[in-house]
Structure 1
Amino acid sequence: METTTSALDIPVNYILGRCTFANWDEEDEPANTTLSILNVSYVVKERVGPWWKGACLRRIRHKLVLRDVCMHMRSGQINAILGGSGSGKTSLLDCIAQRAEGTMSGKVYYNNSECTPDLAQNFMSYVMQADRLLPNLTVREALRYSAQLRLPGNASNFDIEEKVSKVIIEMGLKNVADHRIGGSVIRGISGGEKRRVTIATQLLQNPKILLLDEPTSGLDSFTARSLMASLANLAHQGGKIVLLTIHQPRSEIFRMFDQELGYPCPTYTNPTDFYVDMASVDRRDNERNEESSGRVKELTDAYAASMVHKDVVYEIIEDTMKPTTGRQLFAQKFTHYRPQKSSFFRTLFTLLGRMTLNVFRDRASYLSRVFLLSLFVPFICVFLGRLGTNQTSVQDRIGLLYQSSQVPTFVAALNAIGLFPPLRDLYYREGRDGLYGCTTFLLAYILHILPFTVISTAIFCSVPHTDHFLHYCIIILFMHLFGEIMSVLLMGAFMNTALATSNASIILSASGLMASGFLRNLEKMLPVFQWAAWGNIFKYAGEILAANEFHNLKLNCKNNGTFCFTSGDAYLALVYPEAVDNMTRNFWAVTGFTSATFICVIAVFKIRGIPNLS
């Protein structure tokens, strides 16, 4: 097993000291909150070799990310984990929050009770590095929707508004509370204010422990210092444990720490930069690698043999091995108490309302949802202008039907690929917090897009050109819905939107070419394609559209020695035999394929799980 020496082998509380902002009374409730990390090690698996060798042929390497990390924190403290990139800072937070995806050993204790995923979700909040916010909501709206998801199911609207107003004031967002958050296209609040919104979202549950991964990353020095002051105030005034990772803080922040380990910082040097360098391995060449590895090993060995390490371990063991009093027993029962979550329907309608408001605020997205499909109407009019009852009209009708089956799926795919990824990423973040599952999220998304799908289909079908107008509209509706669901399935399988777009285009194009029968008679295709067509929605939709268009259609046939169709039914008998008799079966098949694809989407999201987005 390969191992790597991490800066986290040396807890930053020993190298840099600990910043304690309040001396809470032991009898006060906030002071009873403790977080202990005892001999935590973390190993991850890596597959070595090119991706094209697959999962079976690539060698598996075990990488030691953390080794015997010990920390002990109490209420009223803000603690910093300092280290360079790749030193294991985020991995330590993942272990504490019970979100580790590798193999973890050691113990994490909350109030002297061994921490579990349920316990972590109840009393810890984890603020990840990237902000996942919907750009078209205001700060207050984003927090209100989040409160409806995070607060217990019996929380009233008054309780929700009161909580939202409180965290807005706590995080200094009062002046921008009614401003849009904004994104890459729409200008909104600043980057520092977005960070504050993300933190405020986690504070809605009033966590005892607040974990933050690089909260000052990407912020200017003034904004970073202001944010750190707010976090210090949360620890001081709110009696919380605040634990954050940081890789390059301002030198004045370092003044909060006061211990060193035989490596005094040179004059006029940023202390934090200096100590990150001291605790990092330089792999630029063998000589530097050997020298820096020796220095880090010296530091880790010195810490392991120091009284500081022994005192921390002794303190943790002493706290966890104390006899349980009646008051402590009650506190432990309360610790494991899980408040009632928001109900299924409240969660569903909250997600639905948030998605709808977000798209209504974005004019381009809203117009795309409603009118993008209708842009094809002029092409329908071109086809209709040429339609008649002569023999050439047969080919025109086939072209019209082929486009009618293909265009709705592609338009739906374009809409989904443009609008779904931000909602998916927000689900990943909130799903990690245990707020709701993928079934609730996907059902809310389907309910969200359904009205837009119906309206855009009605506009698309507004030019009547068939006797069975209702049948035509139903098939267009199902194909539009199928295209969106298929795209969502691919975006659940692939995080890369460009990759999902490419696969959606290939699948929809190949399916229409292979199974619809409009471009090539199915009976003249290779047997493997004929069998594959039975498992393709385009086969059944194509038969419905063809039967709907050609059944009982009379055609002019001027017999001049060439073959001609005397009626539309003659064409159906040649290309789509039994299509008329199988109309009911085909409608059920289209409905079944659409429903089955949605079930596959749920299965893909469940199998893939929730990736640990930064």
Structure 2
Amino acid sequence: MDENDESSRDYLDTGSGIGLDTEHLSLLGFRTILWNCVTVEPEEDEYEQEAVSALNVFNVSYVITERIGAWWSGCCFRGKRSKTVLDDVSFKFPIGELTGILGSSGSGKTSLLDVISCRTEGEVRGHVFYKKYACTKHFMKQFGSYVLQADRLLPNLTVRETLRYSAQLRLPGSATSGEIDKKVAKVINEMGLRTVADTRIGGSMKRGLSGGEKRRVTIAIQLLQEPRILLLDEPTSGLDSYTARSLVSNLADLAHQGKAVILTIHQPRFDIYKLFDNVGILSMGQVVYYGKSNEMVSYFTGIGDPCPQYANPLDYYVDEASVDRRNAESEQKTSGRVKHLISQYRESKLHKDMVGDIEESLIRYLDARTQPEFKRRKPSYIYILKCLVSRLMVNLSRERTGYLSRIFMMVAFVPFICIFLGRLKDNQQSVQDRIGLMYQGSQVPYFMGILLPVALFPPLRDLYYRECRDGLYSTGAFILAYTIHVFPFQVISSLIFSSIVYWATGMNPYLDRFGIYTAVVVIIHFCGEIVTVGIMGMFRSPHVANSISTMILACSGLFASGMLRSLGSMLDILKWISWATLQKYCSEILVVNEFHNLNFTCPNPGKINPCLFTTGDVYLDTFYPGAVDHMERNFGACVGFAVGYVVLTTLVFKLKGIPNLH
């Protein structure tokens, strides 16, 4: 069963209390219609346009499983419990109208949007369908858009560039440059971004757009594919009152153009309340009220709860539908009040009429024709990869600190290495100096590979989470694009580092030896960054990723390089582990590259100054036996580690999945 079938199955549970008995549904063939009508044609006939014009949520319950207690309590053996975040809710969201969903924190507002968009992490029962089509993951990726509360944008791109790159990823691969520019110009005008179209987004270090303008850009991105369903989670969060009203006014205009626009909002001002066509209030996962905004006050007045004069109705009734958990007495009192309001709504004519309309909608289309499959033609993999790499390069090139750090940060270690070691000699004491230099040559590039992504990767990761959730590209495409974009900088940085260190310290003076040294530095630098990126795919915190990567570096250098302690004197278990580390193979290449065919002088041999190593090969035979014959094997292993780390990082991101971005 494919992904579409699974998401359809979630919504087609017969135990959802749909209002029509199972036998009736079976006879009418409702199950068959919803299973088959996952995709639609771009055009609908007049009959279909006139018959149903709503997004329906019918008898939906959403249950999640959560761990009991703190993470350290019982570790993996903590108990689990089920929590109902939505309990048998029904809504009919008309197309062409703006709907606001309100409620206190934890009332189920965001969970409702997650259910509609098929981004749930628990068990869903009930039915969600747009016109006659089941709202599956496949359907929502084609015809729905979800604007999350946080703006995840690259700070160094302009508004126009941000939208253009997003359009290249979202629009069909056949779209021309002119068509893309036309689409971008359209959404810029729709969201009132003309005056800032060529302004950079900005971030914490450098100011750019205001909070309201960033939110408009986020919405504009979702409008590029002209969604029929637009969901927004707290779009006015963090905005001043004027900006919030202006934004909601824009959303109302979009809704009136023929879209189903649904947003969650926390106690809006009265002038924003007047922009809503419909209002829903949730509490404890259930509906307290849903209907026309201009009928809300009269409804509550009719059940004995009038709104005080001069009070904002939304403020008042959201407070009425909230549970005060400061103490047991107030919680019991307010919970009783909320349950009474929920019961009153479920028994109201308003609710029963809406449920009747939804049931009628279900039956109306049972004999309608099944639409043939229609899919948006995505751009090719190469086109997507090129777009991602181009965007990453433009963003980095405008970040002076990040750009220069990628090239010159590793070079900053060169003076310390040269001052500490000086010019290498060919006496017995230089053996230890050379080993120290080899150790620095293997540790510094890896360490630089850790520091840079910890600082630069998190914004790229957050953007990936949003765009991958939207189905724009795969995890593999993202990791490969990131690899392609960082690799040239790693080569340049490693080449500068190697050129100075190698020739300034007087290492083996042959160009082929220099080339081998540089190649190893590039591989180590690359692997250090990819390993850190993989760890950041497992742990959201950059500090945790930094600590774990550094620990891996320290441990592998300690027991796998043979430079701090000879491998022959290690415990057997450490010897076995060393075979699974990059440091073992890189270290052998470096010492062979430096010591092979090298002669050492013994000016005054004796008991005080023993001549232990007359040649570099004697040192190799003592501490790295057979290493000279293993150069090809070791190079193959290093390249294998580099490729393997890319694959492993991709798998980590894939298996870890996309976290809850709320």
TM range (shorter): over 0.9
CA shift, 1:272, in A, is 1.9
Quick one: distance in 1 between partners of 2:306 and 2:176?
A: 56
The TM-score normalised by the length of structure 1 is 0.93
CA distance in 2, matches of 1:58, 1:173: 50
Matched, 1:333 2:353: no
CA pair 469-337 structure 1, distance change in 2 beyond 3 A: same
Instruction: Check the 8 A contact 2:171/2:378 in 1, yes or no.
Output: yes
- Tell me the matched-pair count: 584
Give yes or no for contact 2:132–2:365 (8 Å, CA) kept in 1: no
Q: Deviations over 1:443-487 (max 9, x none)?
A: 000000011111111111113333311110110000000000100
2:219 is matched with which residue: 199, 208, 212?
Answer: 199
Secondary structure of 2:64's match? strand
Distance, in Å, in 2 between the alignment partners of 1:421 and 1:358 is: 14
Offset at residue 391 of structure 1 (A):
1.3
What one-letter code is carried by the residue in structure 1 that aligns with 2:433?
D
Any idea what SS the aligned residue of 1:133 has? coil
Instruction: Tell me, yes or no, if structure 1 residue 278 matches structure 2 residue 312.
Output: no
Partner SS state of residue 581, structure 1: helix
1:430 maps to 2:467: yes
Structure-2 separation of matches of 1:55 and 1:197: 42
* Displacement after TM superposition at 1:247 (Å): 0.9
Query: What is the RMSD computed on CA atoms of the aligned residues?
Result: 1.7
Q: Which secondary structure state, in structure 1, belongs to the residue aligned with residue 101 of structure 2?
A: strand
Secondary structure at the residue paired with 2:60?
Answer: strand
Choose from 231, 239, 243 the match for 1:223. Answer: 243
Identity of aligned residues (%): 54
SS at match of 2:98: strand
Which residue does the alignment assign to 1:72?
92
1:591 aligns with 2:642: no
Partner of 2:628: 580
Alpha-carbon distance in structure 1 between the residues aligned to 2:620 and 2:411: 29
Q: Are 1:512 and 2:524 an aligned pair?
A: no
Give the deviation of 1:307 after TM superposition.
Answer: 1.4
- 1:321 partner SS: helix
1:395 equivalent in alignment to 2:432: yes
What SS does structure 1 have at the residue aligned with 2:629?
A: coil
In structure 1, C-alpha distance between the alignment counterparts of 2:66 and 2:269, rounded to whole Å: 35
Bigger shift: residues 100-109 or 26-35: 26-35
- Structure 2 counterpart SS, 1:185: coil
CA distance in 1, matches of 2:83, 2:599: 74
**What is residue 246 of structure 1 aligned with on the other side?**
265
In structure 2, the partner of 1:536 is 581
Equivalent in the alignment of 1:20: none
Residue aligning to 1:19: none
CA distance in 1, matches of 2:520, 2:359: 68
Structure 1 residue identity aligned to 2:364: K
CA deviation after TM superposition for structure 1 residue 611, in Å: 1.4
Structure 1 residues 502 and 56, CA, compared in 2 at 3 Å: closer, same or farther? closer
Alpha-carbon distance, 1:269 to partner: 2.7
Take 2:516 and 2:121, find their aligned partners in 1: how far apart are those partners?
Answer: 50
Q: Is the 8 A contact 2:245 2:271 kept in 1?
A: no
Decide which moves more: 30-39 or 515-524: 30-39
1:473 equivalent in alignment to 2:518: yes
Residues 538 and 652, structure 2, Cα contact 8 Å, conserved in 1: yes
Give per-residue Cα distances to partners, 1:406-429, cap 9 Å, x unaligned: 000111111111111111110100
Superposed displacement of residue 33, structure 1:
4.2
CA distance in 1, matches of 2:310, 2:64: 39
Change (3 A) 1:133 1:254: same
* Offset of residue 26 of structure 1: 8.0
- Match in the other structure for 1:302: 344
2:398 matched to 1:361? Answer: yes
Q: Is the 8 A contact 2:193 2:216 kept in 1?
A: yes
- Deviation (angstroms), 1:304: 1.2
Which residue pairs with 1:10 in the alignment? none
C-alpha displacement at 1:27, in angstroms? 6.6
Residue identity in the other structure for 1:606: K
Query: Residue 612 of structure 1 corresponds to which residue in structure 2?
Result: 660
Q: CA–CA distance in 2 between the matches of 1:30 and 1:51? A: 53
Residue by residue over 1:328-382, the C-alpha shift from the partner in whole angstroms, topping out at 9 and shown as x without a partner, is 53xx626x52111111111100000000000001110100011111112223433
Question: Which residue, 353, 360, 364 being the options, matches 1:318?
Answer: 360
1:567 Cα deviation from its structure 2 partner: 1.2
User: What is the TM-score normalised by the length of structure 2?
Assistant: 0.86
Select the residue among 500, 509, 518 that pairs with 2:545. Answer: 500
The amino acid that maps onto 2:412 is L
The amino acid that maps onto 1:253 is I
1:446 aligns with 2:483: yes
Q: 1:369 to 1:219 in 2, by over 3 A?
A: same
For the structure 1 residues 353 and 323, does the alpha-carbon distance in structure 2 shift closer, same or farther, using more than 3 Å as the test? closer
Once residues 150 and 50 of structure 1 are traced to their aligned partners in structure 2, the CA distance between those partners, rounded to angstroms, is 41
Aligned to 2:19: none
The correspondence for 1:287, drawn from 329, 348, 367, is 329
- The 8 Å contact of residues 30 and 75 in structure 1, kept in 2 or not, is answered as no
**2:559 aligned partner, one-letter code:** M
In the alignment, the residues of structure 1 paired with residue 59 and residue 322 of structure 2 have an alpha-carbon distance, to the nearest angstrom, of: 21
Look up the SS of the partner of 1:43 in the other structure: strand
Q: Which amino acid is the alignment partner of residue 559 of structure 1?
A: P
Q: What is the distance in 1 between the residues matched to 2:391 and 2:177?
A: 16
Indicate yes or no: 2:471 matched with 1:419. Answer: no
Equivalent residue, structure 1, for 2:445: 408
Instruction: Name the counterpart of 1:4.
Output: none
Q: SS state of the match for residue 71, structure 1?
A: strand
Report the equivalent of 1:342. 379
- 3-state SS of 1:45 partner: strand
1:202-213 alignment runs, 5 A limit: 202-213=222-233
- Alpha-carbon offset, residue 29 of structure 1: 4.9
Kindly provide the amino acid, as one letter, of the partner of residue 542 in structure 2. Answer: T
- 2:288 counterpart residue number: none
- Please report how far the alpha carbon of residue 504 of structure 1 lies from its aligned counterpart in structure 2 after TM superposition: 0.9
Shift of the 31–322 alpha-carbon distance from structure 1 to 2, 3 Å rule, reads closer
1:28 is displaced (CA, Å) by 9.4
Question: Match for residue 568 of structure 1?
Answer: 616
SS in 2 for 1:126: strand
Q: Kindly provide the CA deviation profile for residues 243-289 of structure 1, in whole angstroms up to 9, marking residues without a partner as x.
A: 00001201222345222323212223332221111111111111111
